[in-house]
Structure 1
Amino acid sequence: MTSDKLRIYRRAKLDEGRLLIGLSGWMDGGNISTGTVKFFVEQLDAPKSAQIKPEGFYIYSFPGSMEITAMFRPHTRIRDGIVESCDMPRNTFFLSEENNLVLFAGKEPNLKWEEYADCIFSVCHRFGVKTIYFIGSVAGLVPHTRQPRFTCSVSDGDMKKTVRRYGVRMSNYEGPASIVTHMTARARDEGVGMMTLVAEIPAYVQGQNPGCISAVSRLLANILGIHIELEKLKSIGEEFERKLSEIIEMQPELASHIGKLEEDYDNEVFDTEMGDLKEWLEQRGIRVD
């Protein structure tokens, strides 16, 4: 089946290769998942090496109101009557041989998880990948003035020691799963290890969060042992934080909530309820999961 869906453009056999995955969808708040992988691809100047065809993996026509249906439709751009683009989902692999690394930027599939995973594991086997890393994010109790907290899940207990030195906590979770969880559960049977790193990011910050992307990129560079230029991204993140703080200062109620988050963060209070902050956000149409 994978031969019909998977196209290989550039081949290589890596030595104990690694695969870094970023997916749009469920765990891409702040564009952390896709933004981090995009940053690595650009910094490493990694060429395209393979692609998964989108046909059969996505729902384009979903019954319901236009607002709901629009969430599933491909994005198009029309200028002066000319259809300039119609962007279908892209699932692209990039290769950095000198860093023993494959990178994958894709969109979490709605359908046929098993076949989609087959394509990814096929790339692992063909390129000599032995370890898969997925980076994602969830909205939580972290203030924008602090570093995101990280939790981790792994396919094999021996992998825990790799991240514990960086202060990453092991995940405890029960609930709806993603394709990443499905792949992690399957990884051992495929002969590869898999690690999921999830950054807890500020629930009240909407859109791309360059500060958190910077923190995630720094952690991944250390784990992967890759030298990558981070100073420019760090500066962008610091400027983003400064401007956000200026806006928050103009909203005393929100500033008070964030002050409490900072206190809890500094006192290492992890398992708290959002309480008033959650209610404040939801009143303004911001959902917190």
Structure 2
Amino acid sequence: MNNIEYTPFQDPESLYALNEVLLDAEDLHGLNLLMSFTGFADAGHVVSQIAGELSDNLASEPVAVFDIDQLIDYRSRRPRMTFSEDHLSNYAAPSLVLYRMVDALGQPFLYLTGSEPDLQWERFTLAVLGLVRRLDVNLTAWVHSVPMPVPHTRPIGTTVHGNRPELIEGISAWKTTLEIPSAIGHLLEFRLAAEGRNVVGYAIHVPHYLADAEYPPAAVAGLEYLGAAAALMLPSERLREAGRAVERQITEQVEGSAEVAAVVANLEKQYDDHTDGTSRRSLLAGDNDELPDADELGAAVEAYLASRDSAPGAPDEGDSSNI
């Protein structure tokens, strides 16, 4: 009964408006697609930080703009407004947009971001699947974050899922089987996998005691996984600097409270007992398990792109099937 194929009563394509001029661009097809949606968990404000970092630092053009009025329940998730002394000065309108972006090395990609729909999930999913087919998307990678009983003093973990074994095996810090409340990203991943399309998702683990505040190190981890999966050079320097400041503040608070220090020490012991000294594979780590800096990342991605262009029968630009 749960697997009955959904037939929409309204045309899924009527959910969005297309940038018809941009659709004619040759480099819009065969790209990798990144996705992130606010509204589900977003522990440590990881998704909102990633969206801000990409939109503030990378050139972008809208490919498709979704009709947010059909997808959002405003009364259950009221948009924020600013009251300035005697007048209203700002309205943070929700949005859901598919962008074409260009990374730091000039590599184009697609990015679907905005508010997670409250309504019409099946119709929205069919709309996105239609765009994936129309644009011949190579790989879809998405990210979200969840609060976990882990200490901030240990490497940030992630649970990886999807149908690309080379992007999954040896990375997940936590594996089990259980029923979970789904997000729209989960449903999109499920439907994409059912069509045999390349898809991978990353659930970034955020220490539960930091889940309500912005935690930049977790956003950096999300950007690293997305960038490595899609062979993109994504900006993270601003978040890295903010993360160092946050880490200093956390250290001061822990050192100033014996109670907090005891909680962190207990989480460290649980974490160490669980991992039992084993290390997880990183998509970015080298032979010595050290993460490369920004210059090394840039050189590695440039070398990778050059090798694809010069190889006989090299795939079209944007294809990452051989990473």
Above 0.5 in TM-score?
yes
- Residue 174 of structure 1 corresponds to 179
CA distances 1:68-104 after superposition (whole Å, capped 9, x unpaired): xxxx222222435443333332102221254241012
Return 5+ residue gaps in structure 2 as ranges.
1-10, 277-323
Question: Post-superposition shift, 1:228?
Answer: 3.4
2:88 equivalent to 1:87: no
- Residue 153 of structure 2 corresponds to 145
Q: Secondary structure at the match of 2:69?
A: coil
The equivalent position to 1:17 in structure 2, one of 31, 34, 42, is 31
The question of whether the paired residues in 2 share the 8 Å contact of 1:31 and 1:209 is answered with: yes
The equivalent position to 1:225 in structure 2, one of 213, 216, 231, is 231
Question: Post-superposition shift, 1:59?
Answer: 1.7
The question of whether the paired residues in 1 share the 8 Å contact of 2:142 and 2:226 is answered with: no
Which amino acid is the alignment partner of residue 40 of structure 1?
L
CA distances 1:6-65 after superposition (whole Å, capped 9, x unpaired): 122232454532111111112311111232233233333223332111122122235xxx
Change (3 A) 1:171 1:54: farther
Question: Post-superposition shift, 1:114?
Answer: 0.8
The question of whether the paired residues in 2 share the 8 Å contact of 1:143 and 1:261 is answered with: yes
1-side partners of 2:237 and 2:82: how far apart?
34
Q: Secondary structure at the match of 2:32?
A: strand
Which amino acid is the alignment partner of residue 174 of structure 1?
E
The equivalent position to 2:207 in structure 1, one of 202, 209, 213, is 202
The question of whether the paired residues in 1 share the 8 Å contact of 2:36 and 2:114 is answered with: yes
CA distances 1:79-137 after superposition (whole Å, capped 9, x unpaired): 35443333332102221254241012111111110112123223322322132111011
2-side partners of 1:117 and 1:250: how far apart?
48
2:19 equivalent to 1:5: no
Change (3 A) 1:81 1:123: farther
Q: Secondary structure at the match of 1:204?
A: helix
- Residue 71 of structure 2 corresponds to 57
2-side partners of 1:164 and 1:27: how far apart?
25
The equivalent position to 1:34 in structure 2, one of 43, 48, 58, is 48
Identity of aligned residues (%): 21
2-side partners of 1:181 and 1:92: how far apart?
18
How many aligned positions are there?
Answer: 258
Question: Post-superposition shift, 1:171?
Answer: 5.8
- Residue 5 of structure 2 corresponds to none
1-side partners of 2:208 and 2:245: how far apart?
19
2:111 equivalent to 1:106: no
2:271 equivalent to 1:257: no
2:136 equivalent to 1:128: yes
Question: Post-superposition shift, 1:166?
Answer: 4.8
Question: Post-superposition shift, 1:150?
Answer: 0.7
- Residue 273 of structure 1 corresponds to none
Change (3 A) 1:119 1:171: farther
Which amino acid is the alignment partner of residue 7 of structure 1?
A
The question of whether the paired residues in 2 share the 8 Å contact of 1:27 and 1:33 is answered with: no
